[in-house]
Each structure stands twice: as C-alpha cells, then as structure tokens.
Amino acid sequence: MKEITITLGDITTVKVDAIVNAANTSLLGGGGVDGAIHRAAGPQLLAECRTLNGCRTGEAKITKGYRLPSKYVIHTPGPIWQGGTHHERELLRNSYVNSLKLAEVHDCRTVAFPSISTGVYHFPLERAAPIAITAIQDFLQSAKFVEQVQMVCFDAGTKQAYDHALTQVNEA
C-alpha cells in the first residue's frame, strides 16, 4: 500500500532507498540538513557533488549515499522565501515532484524528505506543509516504484504542521 508517514528524527539515520537533501544551488554543502547529510555521508559525497555543476531551484540531482544507511541522496534546492511573489509555492512543489521523479527512475520504493525550505530559507511552515503533502500525495497516485514516503521532521513544531496538513488532505 502506498503511504505517507510523518516522523520525528534525524534524516541521516533513516534507512530508506533515497533520502532527499534540502541543498543549495551550488550543491557544495551548506548548513542545516545539508551539513548533517554531508557529515554523515563522508567526503566522497562532496566529491561526487562537485561533478554535478550545481542544480537549479526546484530541480533535483541524485548521488550515491556513501556512508549513509540510504542508497541514494537526492539533492534539491528549495526556494528562498521572498514574500510569496517569486513563484515560491510552485518551486517548492517542483522540488518534491522532481525529487520523486528521480527516485522513481532509480527504482526506489522508500523515500525520506526533510522539511524543504522551512529552515534558513524561511518558507513559512504552515504554507509549506500542505504544498509538500499534496505534491507527494499526487505523485503517489501514478507512481510505479515509490510506495512509502516519510517526512522526517527535526522538531515537534514541524511534525505538528505536517501531521495537520496530512489530516486535512486526507479529509478533503
């Protein structure tokens, strides 16, 4: 059965086929979840990222997971919140959908996402959560390989926002 689950935890410890990294467009590492993923994966991850020539906002690129328990890392730069008038919603949805498309072509059944753009990129959490859940839900309807998508939230407030969004989408 295809499903979305919301968990509290550290995405670098999650054993799935692919974890998604809320990267920046350089793909050369940053703070937040990006820094944590690079630390846990080891230096080979950065070496592979250097060969990718960056990534545009809302698009996605895939690497191996190296020392991580996940086989792959899918890197996607989410949008920086600029007040909502710079296509931020559409770009955030693109980050989720394009990451899932890459997971699908690499035969991934299980995928874990962090809360893209709601850290240093300041996308308002209450707006980001329903966009993420709707994008994932829509994608799962036609997915062939991806079956289980986990939103891995790093703090209780983030988990609450995604739990709420999932309830609302399920009731709609």
Looking at residues 114 to 143 of the shown chain, list those that interact with ligand ADP (rule: CB under 6 A): 114-121
- Is 57 a binding residue for ligand ADP by CB under 6 A? The answer is no
Compare residues 43 and 124 and give the one whose CB is closer to ligand ADP. 124
Q: How far apart are CA 72 and CA 147, in angstroms?
A: 16
CA distance 102 to 115: 18
Considering only residues 4, 22, 60, 102, which one is a binding residue for ligand ADP as defined by CB under 6 A? 22
CB of 38 to ligand ADP, least distance (A): 11
CB of 110 to ligand ADP, least distance (A): 16
Contacts of 78-87 with C-beta under 8 Å, sequence gap 24+, read 78/22, 78/116, 78/117, 78/121, 78/123, 79/117, 79/121, 79/123, 80/117, 80/121, 80/122, 80/123, 81/117, 81/121, 81/122, 81/123, 81/124, 84/127
With CB under 6 A as the contact rule, which of the stretches 26-34, 57-65, 84-92, 129-137 interacts with ligand ADP?
26-34
Confirm or reject binding of residue 82 to ligand ADP (CB under 6 A): no
Give contact residues for ligand ADP (rule: CB under 6 A).
10-12, 22, 32-34, 36, 78, 114-121, 152, 154-155, 158
